[in-house]
Structure 1
Amino acid sequence: MDELLLLNGPNLGILGRREPGIYGSATLDDIEKAVTAEVAARGWRVTAFQSDAESELIGVLQDKYDTVGAILNPGALMIAGWSLRDALANYPRPWIEVHLSNVWAREQFRHESVLAPLATGMVAGLGALGYRLAARALLEVSPA
Structure 2
Amino acid sequence: MSVVLLLNGPNLGALGYREPEIYGTDTLADIEKAVAEEVAVRGWEVVSIQRDGEGDLVGAIHQHRDSTVGAIVNPGALMIAGWSLRDALASYSPPWIEVHLSNVWARESFRHESVIAPLASGVVIGLGAFGYRLAAQALLHLCPET
**Common fold, TM-score beyond 0.5?**
yes
Q: CA deviation at 1:41?
A: 1.3
Q: Partners of 2:13 and 2:122 in 1: how far apart?
A: 23
- In percent, how many aligned pairs have the same letter? 70
Q: Deviations over 1:20-53 (max 9, x none)?
A: 0000000000000000000101010000000000
Q: Aligned-pair RMSD on alpha carbons?
A: 0.5
Q: Which residue pairs with 1:43 in the alignment?
A: 43
State the alpha-carbon separation in 2 of the partners of residues 3 and 79 from structure 1: 28
Q: How does 1:23-62 map to 2 (within 5 A)?
A: 23-62=23-62
Give 3-state SS (helix, strand or coil) of 2:62's partner.
Answer: helix
Q: Which amino acid aligns with 1:109?
A: F
Partner of 2:47, secondary structure, is strand
TM-score normalised by L of structure 2 = 0.98
CA distance in 2, matches of 1:59, 1:142: 23
What SS does structure 1 have at the residue aligned with 2:85? helix
Distance in 1 between the 2:63 and 2:108 partners? 34
C-alpha deviations, 1:56-112, integer Å up to 9, x for none? 001011011120000000000000000000000000100000000000000000000
How many equivalent pairs are there? 144
- Runs (5+) with no aligned partner, structure 2: none
CA distance in 2, matches of 1:133, 1:118: 18
The DSSP-based 3-state class of the residue aligned with 2:110 is helix
Measured in 2, the distance between the counterparts of 1:70 and 1:96 equals: 6
| SS of alignment partner, residue 72 of structure 1 | strand
- 1:141 to 2:139 alignment: no
**Where do 5+ consecutive residues of structure 1 fail to align?**
none
TM-score (normalizing by structure 1): 0.99
Question: What residue in structure 1 maps to residue 100 of structure 2?
Answer: 99
1:71 corresponds to: 72
Structure 2: distance between partners of 1:128 and 1:28: 9
